[in-house]
Amino acid sequence: MGLKILQKSSEPKNTCFTGSFGREYCLAHHWLSGARQENKTRGLEFQVSTLGFKNVVLIWDQHNSATASKYWRVQYSTDGINFADYNVITSISSRWFTEAIDFSNVPGVDDNPNFKVRLISEFESTATGAGADAYVGVGADYGTGGTLRLDMVYLYAESISGGQNPVLDVIHSGNSIQISWPANAADYVLEASESLSSPNWLVVGEPVSTVGDRKSVTISNTGVTQFFHLKQ
């Protein structure tokens, strides 16, 4: 079967999104590439459960300013605590580009409620095995005011059962979060929990509306981390 979207960010560029990643990211904000003496300490972290899914692929759009770090390291965690180095992303110019990382052959990623991914700035020497023991810029000298922007972050995967399991779509707009799923999933209910390590799944109390082929619930963004799933 084809890949399904487990999670994605909203459009357009320079907006905010919230979802099963566990926190809100404002894409118009600038993230420091890292202080000059700190290697692999600055960037972004995403958390999303892969329970019931396999062959995970992460895809995103990225933009680096000219003085941002040229090298970015993808790290992943299967226990939610300890991270392992994975691919290195090299920015060759200050422009938008698309990256894709395939986790399908990484042990422990499939069917895992504690899966996390990081994208962090890295020294040239550890990223390439040679060069400076420091950050280098994309198109100019590196500066701590350099910025990273991400957009259209998608996590794709295949259902382990092989069935057509409904998949949630999460869109953040203003102070509200809209969660939707296929309308033909009539026997599913939306549940939420504030934790995945010790989950307490409760049915979401907001009313469900149906427009076309989608059911949706709109909830207020209270700033509290929440995770959502559909239960049959």
Residue 5 is predicted with a pLDDT of 39
Q: What is the pLDDT of residues 74-132, one digit of tens each?
A: 999 999 899 999 999 998 888 888 899 999 999 999 999 899 998 888 999 999 999 98
User: Any residues with CB less than 8 A from the CB of 198 and at least 6 apart, and which?
Assistant: none
Sign of the dihedral through C-alpha 99, 176, 12, 91: negative
Residues contacting residue 197 through CB under 8 Å, at least 6 positions apart: 80, 113, 114
**Domain range list for the chain:** 4-159, 169-231
State how far the Cα of 65 lies from the Cα of 124, in Å rounded to an integer: 17
The CATH number given to 4-159 is 2.60.120
State the average pLDDT over residues 154-178.
78
Task: Write the CATH number of the domain with boundaries 169-231.
Answer: 2.60.40
- Mean pLDDT for 46-71 is 87
| Stronger pLDDT, 225 or 211, i.e. the higher one | 211
What is the per-residue pLDDT across 40-50, written as a single tens digit (0 to 9) for each? 888 888 888 88
pLDDT for 144 beyond 90: no
Q: Report yes or no: 180 and 18 within 8 Å, Cβ to Cβ.
A: no
Average pLDDT, the chain: 79
